[in-house]
Structure 1
Amino acid sequence: MESCGTAVSCTPAAFLLLHLGLISSMAHQNEFQTGLAGGEVTLNCTGILPDSKLPRDTVISWVYHDTLLWRMEKSNKYWKKPTFITGRADIKMQYKQLRVWNLKLSDAGIYTCEYGPQKVRTSLHILKLTISSDGHFLQNEVPELILMQNSSSPLPDLSITLFDSNNNRVTPELQNKSRQKYVVNLKKLEAMDSGTWVCQVHSDSPLINQNISFAVKVLGFQNPDLERKYATVDSTVIFSWRLNSQIIKWKEGFTGQLNWKQQESASTHELLDFNVTAQGQLHETKKSSNFLFEIPERKPESTIEVKLPKVHFNHSGQYQCQLEYQGRHVQSKIELVVMKVSANPVGPLSRGANMTLTCQVSGPLTPNAYLRWERVNGTEMDSKNSKQHEVKLEVNISAAGLWSCHLIEDSNIKISFHYHVEEAPVWINYVIIGTSVGGSLLALVLGCLCIISGISWQRRRQRAKRMAQARQYLLENKTCQCQHWLKK
């Protein structure tokens, strides 16, 4: 073979070789595309003319690996219809694009569009994300997330980033990792975590940047757990648990119950049970006949509510509302603290006497809470505070008036019980001795017993005048002894 002697004489040959290489690269194109299981993709037949401009004798076909999927020749077209894709694919005729929906992991592989000398190979990479419990959880549960991938090429190493419904980045706990399957645990869920989450999947080679959205629904309470309520004896208390089932559009049925126990170690008493249908209808049934409570007829939607019309001291304790769904349960507690006040001795306070007032709450106090007795409009000397963790506070008093016991927590008065101490009346005896003159005067003596009782110190002068008149009358009529009671 004769070699080229000059650069000029070699130019046509070099140009021809470059031209043939360009045609060859154009005839075989490789593309990469990512699809999500359950979703759909459209694979392009890159470089093909619109349907209206194609020559009639153009032959076009789509092949999956070595399996013919579709072919068009002289405007005659037919589907090979392989079983793995039957009913899940069609052709967009204008540009002969292959559309596949309801993708499966097994759909990953090489799809080739052939027309004339042109071949466009698309490597389809499938990702599948699943979440435990189909995305339906109760509060405090930990979801499990599984990411799987499939490809005809070696599987890449994926990085996973998660964002919750509030667009806050969440760091998952990796449980298991292989190139094919990644298993991670999320955080404990709260009711506010309901919404759309995003899983970002990334790979450098091949280049993958895929956002996968998934729904999370967390059934629970809008109340904080272990809420505390305060009440005085004989007052009215309403317990209310606000469910979030309507807010998150929970389309599943679930049940629940309301229980009460006086102490943590005490036996539990069921007050009512309820069920909520998939349509959101709430049905309640009272279970206790010994515990006096009411179910209000009018209350907010998706709310469990009970009313104690007259609180007793032994009504204190924990009221627990529990939700149950598919064998799992979550609960929210409200603790009732009841205050009562007593006096010893009971009754009005005599002048110069003492009385003991006792204030008591039904349960242990938090470290930052205490009891305080004080006299309304009194001085600092008329007040007393309990020591830490004391649930009973006594105060000895010698002054009548309005006394108040407060339960104070974090410098805030949570509840007060006002007790009015009355001043006792003072009685004075007067005895007058005379001679009985007959039974008719006995009635007059009995009548004079009530002449001037109940008169205050402010009317003492007026009362003394009336008593002198009455005494003179009795002496003149020679009546027997007569007693007069004077109220100061």
Structure 2
Amino acid sequence: HLLLKVFCLISSMAHQNELQTGLAGGEVTLNCTGILPDSKLSRDTLVHWKYYDTPLCKVSTSLPLLPSHTSAFITDRFAIKTQYKQLWVRNLKLSDAGIYTCEYGSHKVRTSLHIFKLMIPLDGHFLQNEVPELILMQNSSSPLPDLRITLLDSHNNRVTPELQNKSRQKYIVNLRKLETMDSGTWVCQVHSDSPLIDQNIPFAVKVLGFQNPDLERKYATVDSTVILSWHLNSQKIKWKEGFTGQLNWKQQESANPHELLDFNITAQGQLHETKKSSDFLFEIPEIKPESTIEVKLPKVHFNHSGQYQCQLEYQGRHAQSKIELVVMKVSAKPVGPLSRGANMTLTCQVAGPLPPNAYLRWERVNGTKMDIKNSKQKEVKLEVNISAAGLWSCHLIEDSDRKISAHYHVEEAAAWTNYVIIGASVGGSLLVFAIGCLCIITVTNWQRRRQRAKRMAQARQYLLENKTCQCQQMYMW
């Protein structure tokens, strides 16, 4: 349709002969119902538009649009669609609500324009775990109806909002706690029985946050390498606002936080990081995915355990995500090979606290059920007394899932072989009565067996050379 600019005031909604709804900030077209197309009107047909009793403008098929000089408002928000003499209004305001009348010849058409205004804080830019407050307002020429409000989220799921304040003119409702997956287009559905209104108001929501879980646990053994990463969704949702943040660490919940680094991300998505700690051994990887905050611990210490919290800040509000690092270590007392008949205590310890469904387990690889010992749930230290050498493993088990294992190899002490050689010399001849092997030797390779045979031969030679009756005790490795 051709648009002819109208310099006149208009408002937005009413209901006598016709009811029409509009949204603040949007546009609406008011019909002059029953009028013939422009080509079929007589040359001198004059169409008047009024707001209540105030003339707004008039248009003729033979003359250009004539604004009504009695109108107190001149604006470019309005235009006439010439074919059917419809009144078109853009950038609607709440104050545009009211009765609009179209008159031509003996015909008079009244339209009641009802305006809704939905106010979204911060233009729909929210942080993870926020509960935004929405305000819905309405204005009409007739008594304001009682509205029912429901919401459809970005996945088209119905949400019943919490109503904080209700008056016929102003409704204040709270959304649910937002997650990053809630980003997208939501719909506010407005219902009224009298007058009959079913109005859908779409609005955009962007939720800036982390794609990590709210609390993530990461497991490591002492001296291993660990990379901690926080993945932001700013690129995914095309967040066009700058924001800042920082990474803190504390060993215990009640401890003071220790700042490791701070960062800022520009509206163009550029990430700038600044290392703040000089006495905490960590690195910032140069190559990493976009919109990712990442630190590398090249050699984990037992006291590196604790909570690593990445925090975002946008316009005075905060969102955070934590990674809890659980570090395991194993030790033995006494340290060293295990002698035959001796005992050793193995200790497995994690930097707690553990979740309630987690426990520790010691077991000997390829051992028996007797070589297994479990801790009680949530215990962070488990000791086991052993008398068998071999590879022992400590597991941290959570919900029947082995999260991490540390191993300790217990060596068996090389045994002393005690040879008692009893000989007798009679008339210059040596009789060997007995050679006794009193201990099990762990040496099994052929080189050591050859050494043992050589030493036994040397012992016999010693007795032959002395040719005396004696008892000689020889200790051989």
| TM-score (normalised: structure 1) | 0.84
Counterpart in 2 of 1:159? 148
The residue identity in structure 2 corresponding to 1:60 is: V
Amino acid at match of 1:170: V
- Does the Cα contact within 8 Å between 1:369 and 1:407 map onto a contact in 2? yes
Which residue does the alignment assign to 2:189? 200
- Residue 244 of structure 1: CA displacement? 1.2
Distance (Å, rounded) in 2 between the aligned partners of 1:224 and 1:127 = 38
Shift of 1:150: 0.9
Q: How far is 1:429 from its partner? A: 8.4
Greater Rg, structure 1 or structure 2?
1
More strand by share: 2
Aligned counterpart for 1:87 among listed residues 70, 76, 82: 76
1:104 maps onto 2:85 in alignment: no
Q: Aligned runs of 1:109-120 on 2, under 5 Å?
A: 109-120=98-109
Task: Name which of 9, 24, 33 aligns with 1:37.
Answer: 24
Do the aligned partners of 2:30 and 2:88 also contact (CA within 8 Å) in 1?
Answer: yes
Partners of 1:49 and 1:415 in 2: how far apart?
81
Q: How many pairs align?
A: 435
- SS state of the match for residue 126, structure 1? strand
The answer as to whether partners of 2:443 and 2:449 remain within 8 angstroms in 1 is no
Q: Which residue number in structure 2 is paired with residue 170 of structure 1?
A: 159
Long gaps (5+) in structure 2: 1-15, 421-441, 467-472
Residue 124 of structure 2: aligned partner: 135
Q: 1:67 aligns with which of 33, 49, 54?
A: 54
Deviates more, 1:373-382 or 1:194-203: 194-203
Q: Distance in 2 between matches of 1:43 and 1:460?
A: 106
Q: 1:458 to 1:77 in 2, by over 3 A?
A: closer
Q: 1:296 aligns with which of 277, 280, 285?
A: 285
CA contact (8 A) 1:91 1:99 kept: yes
Q: Which residue of structure 1 aligns with residue 450 of structure 2?
A: 462
Change (3 A) 1:125 1:464: closer
Aligned twin of 1:17? none
CA contact (8 A) 2:414 2:443 kept: no
Partner in structure 2 of residue 276 of structure 1? 265
Match of 1:338 among 322, 327, 335: 327
Aligned to 1:47: 34
Are residues 189 and 376 of structure 1, via their aligned partners in 2, closer, same or farther at CA, if it must alter by over 3 Å? same
Structure 2: which amino acid aligns with 1:365? L
Q: 2:408 corresponds to which residue? A: 419
Query: Among residues 378, 391, 400, which one is paired with 1:389 in the alignment?
Result: 378
1:322, 1:330 within 8 Å by CA — same for their partners in 2? yes
Note if contact 1:426-1:486 (Cα within 8 Å) is conserved in structure 2.
no
Farther off after superposition, 162-171 or 336-345 = 162-171
Alpha-carbon separation, structure 1, partners of 2:443 and 2:176: 76
Assess if the C-alpha contact under 8 Å between 1:386 and 1:393 holds in 2: yes
Question: Match of 1:374, as an amino acid?
Answer: E
Q: Deviations over 1:338-386 (max 9, x none)?
A: 1100011111112221111111111122221111110000001111111
Instruction: Note the alpha carbon deviations across 1:80-104, whole angstroms, 9 max, x for none.
Output: 4856560101011111111000000
Cα distance change, pair 464–228 in 1 and its aligned pair in 2 (3 A): closer
1:250 aligns with 2:239: yes
- Superposition RMSD in Å: 2.5
User: Of 114, 118, 124, which residue of structure 2 is paired with 1:125?
Assistant: 114
Residue 468 of structure 1 and its aligned partner are, at CA, apart by 5.2
Structure 1 residues 228 and 84, CA gap change in structure 2 (3 angstroms) = farther
Give the Cα–Cα distance (whole angstroms) in 1 for the partners of residues 200 and 233 of structure 2. 28
CA distance in 2, matches of 1:199, 1:264: 41
Give the drift of 1:192: 1.5
* CA offsets 1:188-222 (integer angstroms, 9 cap, x no match): 11222111111111112222111111111111111
2:378 & 2:101 partners in 1: Cα distance? 79
Contact 2:452 2:476 in 1 (8 A): no
2:332–2:346 Cα contact (<8 Å) kept:
yes
Residues 461, 301 of structure 1: alpha-carbon distance in 2 compared, 3 angstrom cutoff: closer
1:342-421 alignment to 2 at 5 Å?
342-421=331-410
Q: TM-score, normalised by structure 2?
A: 0.86
Deviations 1:406-453 (A, max 9, x none): 11111111110011111112346899xxxxxxxxxxxxxxxxxxxxxx
For 2:131 and 2:382, locate their aligned partners in 1 and report how far apart those are by CA, in whole Å: 45
Structure with greater helix share of residues: 1
Q: 1:466 to 1:31 in 2, by over 3 A?
A: same
Matched residue, 1:233: 222
Residues 233, 339 of structure 1: 8 Å contact kept: yes
For the Cα contact (< 8 Å) 2:455–2:476, is it kept in 1?
no
**Deviation readout 1:292-316 (Å, 9 max, x if unpaired):** 1111122121111111111100000
- Per-residue CA deviations over 1:135-160 (Å, capped at 9, x if unaligned) read 11112211111111111112112111
Secondary structure at 2:75's aligned position in 1?
coil
Residues 217 and 323 in structure 2, CA contact (< 8 A), matched pair in contact too: yes
Q: Equivalents in 2 of 1:461, 1:234: separation in Å?
A: 39
Structure 1's 284 and 384: CA in aligned 2 closer, same or farther, altered over 3 A?
same
The residue number in structure 1 matching 2:248 is 259
Q: Which moved more, 1:217-226 or 1:77-86?
A: 77-86
My pick for the range that moved more, 253-262 or 188-197, is 188-197
Q: Which residue of 2 aligns with 1:58?
A: 45
Report the more deviating stretch, 87-96 or 188-197: 188-197
Contact 1:56 / 1:75 at 8 angstroms: preserved in 2?
Answer: no
Matched, 1:220 2:209: yes
Name the structure 2 match of 1:12. none
8 Å contact kept, 1:320–1:334: yes
